[in-house]
Structure 1
Amino acid sequence: MNNVVIIVNEVAGQGRAKKLWESWKDRLPFSFTLFKTEYSGHATAISKEYADASQEPLLIIAIGGDGTIHEILSGLIGYNHVRVGVVSAGSGNDFGRTFFVFKTIEQLNEYVLEFQSSEYMDMGTLKTNSEKFHFVNNAGFGFDAHVVYAANNSSWKKWLNRLGLGKLVYILYLVKELFCFQKFSFSLLNKEDEIKFEDVWFITVCNQPYFGGGMKISPSSLPNDSLIELTIVHHLKRTKLLFIFGTVFFGKHTAYKEIKQIQAKEFTIQMNDEVYGHVDGEFSCMTTPGSTFTFKVESDAWNLAKPPSKRS
C-alpha cells in the first residue's frame, strides 16, 4: 500500500478541482493511490478505510473545497499516524484562509519528498440528542444555515453552475431571506444559570475566523488553542444587518452592540424554535422547540501536513 493517498473531488469549485488535478497528475515524482469521490460521504469512507488499514505513517492529500476537507477530516479523528495535506480548489475556500495549504505543485512535491512535518489541530463537535457532527471551520444555526440550505436545494443552482455563476444563487437567497427570515430565540445554558437571547438572526461556533467565503466572523479564533468561540447576532434591524454585512469581511462587526462573542471549551444551548443548522456550510439538522445542543472542542484531533517553517 502506498503511504500517499490523493482524494480528488472533481466537481468542487465548479470543476476547478478537476482542472487542477489534470494539470498536476503527470508532474508528481512520487507514487500514490488515487481516488475520485463519487457521492456525498465518499471521502470520509476512503480516509477512514486507509487510516484503519495501516499503522504506518500515512499522508492523505485532499484536492477540493471545504466540503471535501470536512469529509476527510471527519473520517480521521484520532488517527495520529495520518497527516492531511490540502490543495484548496473549491468556491469558498475558508479552510485555506487560516490553515496551511499547498498552493503550487512545487510546494507539494517538496513536502512529500523532503518533509515529514505536521502540526496537531483542534476539531469542533456539535452533539444533538441522536447525532454527533464534526466541524473544522464552524457550525451554527439560523439565517446563514437557512440561506445555504435554500441555495443548495434550489433548481437555480445547477443552471447557474453550468454558466460558471454558481455563487450568485447564494447572493439571491441571502437577499431573499433578509426580508423573509423569521428570527428566533435560544438559551445559553451553564452550571450557574440560563441566559436567554431573543430576536436572534444566527449563532455560529468557530474553530477558525472565516466562514461564508471570506467573512471574518470570529477574528480571535485560533484552530489550535483548545478553545471555540460563539458569535451571536441579535436585536438587529434588517436594514442595519445589510449595513453591517460588509464589515464582516474585515472583522469590524464585533464593535456593534448587537454582536456578542464568547470564548470557551464548551457551549450548551436550548433552542426555542424550528431553525436550520449547518456544519462547515452543509445542512446538519432542523431544531425543535426545547431541543438542546452541545458544542465542544476536541484538542489535537488531527494532523495538518505543513513544512516546518510555516505557521497556521
Structure 2
Amino acid sequence: MNRFTLHIVVNTQAGSGNAKKVLTTTENYLKEKEITYTTYFTEYAGHEKKITSDLLDTLLIDWNHSTKPFPLLVVLGGDGTLHEVINVLQSYPNIPIAYIPGGSGNDFARGISLSRKTKEAIDRILFAKEPQPVNMIRAWFKEQDEVRFILNNIGIGLDANIVSTANHSKTKRFLNKLHLGSLSYLAAIFKVVRKQKAFPISFKTDQQSFHFDQGYLCSITNHPYFGGGVAIDPTASPFNDEISIVLVEKVNVLEIIYLAVRILSKTHLTSKYIHHFKTTNLEVTSPSDQFAQTDGEIVGEESYTISCELTKRLFWI
C-alpha cells in the first residue's frame, strides 16, 4: 500500500506557463513510480483558495503516522500560488503541504533548499518520512485589518513598486504568452529605480526602536531570497527563529548601481546605506502611501502599520 495519495493543486499559468511543463514531467514521473494522485486545476485567479477550502472540508487532515494512505496536499505552481494556499490553512498548521516549484522566481524553494528540478523535488516528497516545521511570518496589517502568513518576505517601497508596475504593464500578457514574462519585470526595474521616492519608516522591536527618513526599499524576510534568487539577506533562514529586516536608503543612481553589484555579490550588508537587524517580534510603521507586497502579491499603495511575529507550519520536505 502507498504511504500516501497526492492531491495536487495545479496553477498552469504560474511561471509564464512554465508550470505546464513541470506538470507534464510530474505526471509522467508519478505514473512511472506508480504513485496515486489526483490533480485539481485552477481556472481563474484565486481559484486555488476555493480548491484548498473544498479539500479542507472533504479530505485534508492533521499529520499522523497511522493514517495510510495519508491524503497529502501538494502545490504545483509558483510562490504566489503557495502563498494563497497557506493562507487558507492559517488555522491548520499541522496539515502538511508538499511543494513542486513551477513558478518563475521560486524563492521559497531556494529558501528551504528544495530543488527546482522537478524529479528531484518529487523524490524529496517520496523519500521524506514525516513533515518538518518551517517558520513563516505572521503579519497583521492594521489599517487593512488583515492577517497574512508570509513564506518569503514583505516588501515596502522599491520592490513592491516594481511588482506593481510590471503587473500593470501593457506588454506583460503578450510577453507571458511568449514565456518571457521576466522581461516585464526587467523593464519595470529601469522605469521605477529613479522614480521611487524616499519615504519615512519606523521599526519597533522588544528591545529597541529605529526611525529612518530616507527609506527606499524595505524587506522583512523569512529567508535570504527575493526577486527570483537575489539574496537580500544571505544570513536569513526559515529554520532560525528570527525575522530579518533589511532597509536600503535612497541614494543617487551611481550608488544604486554600486549597491546592486554588492547585493549580487552578497557583500552589501556592511554598506552605510543599508541597515540590517533581526528580531522575533516587530512593528513597522510606514506613514506615507507606498506600495507593499507579500510573497510577490501586491497589498496596495497605502500607509501601513504591520505587526510581525513568527509562526510555524508543517511542510512535507
TM over 0.5: yes
2: CA distance between counterparts of 1:187 and 1:111?
Answer: 41
Aligned-pair distance for 1:100? Answer: 4.4
Aligned-pair distance for 1:259? Answer: 0.7
2: CA distance between counterparts of 1:87 and 1:172?
Answer: 28
Give a deviation string over 1:97-128, Cα, whole Å, max 9, x none. 1224363437626743x543221011112212
Which deviates the most, 37-46 or 98-107? 98-107
Of all paired residues, the percent bearing the same amino acid is 27
Counterpart residue number, 1:310 = none
Counterpart residue number, 1:77 = 90
1: CA distance between counterparts of 2:94 and 2:135?
Answer: 16
Counterpart residue number, 2:130 = 117
1: CA distance between counterparts of 2:105 and 2:121?
Answer: 22
Answer yes or no: is 1:94 the counterpart of 2:107.
Answer: yes
Change (3 A) 1:75 1:177: same
Q: Structure 2 length normalisation: TM-score?
A: 0.87
What is the correspondence of 1:188-207 to structure 2 with a 5 Å cutoff? 188-190=203-205, 194-207=209-222
What is the correspondence of 1:19-168 to structure 2 with a 5 Å cutoff? 19-28=21-30, 29-53=34-58, 54-55=60-61, 57-101=70-114, 103-105=117-119, 108=122, 111-112=125-126, 115-129=128-142, 130-168=145-183
Counterpart residue number, 1:258 = 273
SS of the residue 1:273 aligns to = strand
Answer yes or no: is 1:292 the counterpart of 2:297.
Answer: no
Counterpart residue number, 1:271 = 286
Q: Structure 1 length normalisation: TM-score?
A: 0.88
Q: Is the 8 A contact 1:207 1:223 kept in 2?
A: yes
Q: Is the 8 A contact 2:157 2:291 kept in 1?
A: yes
Aligned-pair distance for 1:90? Answer: 1.1
Structure 1 consecutive aligned stretches of length 4 or more whose deviation exceeds 6 Å:
none
Answer yes or no: is 1:14 the counterpart of 2:16.
Answer: yes
Unaligned stretches of 5+ residues in structure 1: 307-312
What is the correspondence of 1:236-251 to structure 2 with a 5 Å cutoff? 236-251=251-266
Q: Is the 8 A contact 1:278 1:284 kept in 2?
A: yes
SS of the residue 1:236 aligns to = coil
> How many residue pairs were aligned?
300
Structure 2 counterpart of 1:305, one-letter code = W
1: CA distance between counterparts of 2:135 and 2:120?
Answer: 28
2: CA distance between counterparts of 1:284 and 1:32?
Answer: 34
Q: Is the 8 A contact 2:140 2:308 kept in 1?
A: yes
2: CA distance between counterparts of 1:179 and 1:9?
Answer: 34
Unaligned stretches of 5+ residues in structure 2: 62-66
RMSD of equivalent CA atoms = 2.2
Give a deviation string over 1:233-272, Cα, whole Å, max 9, x none. 1142232112211322332111211111110012112223
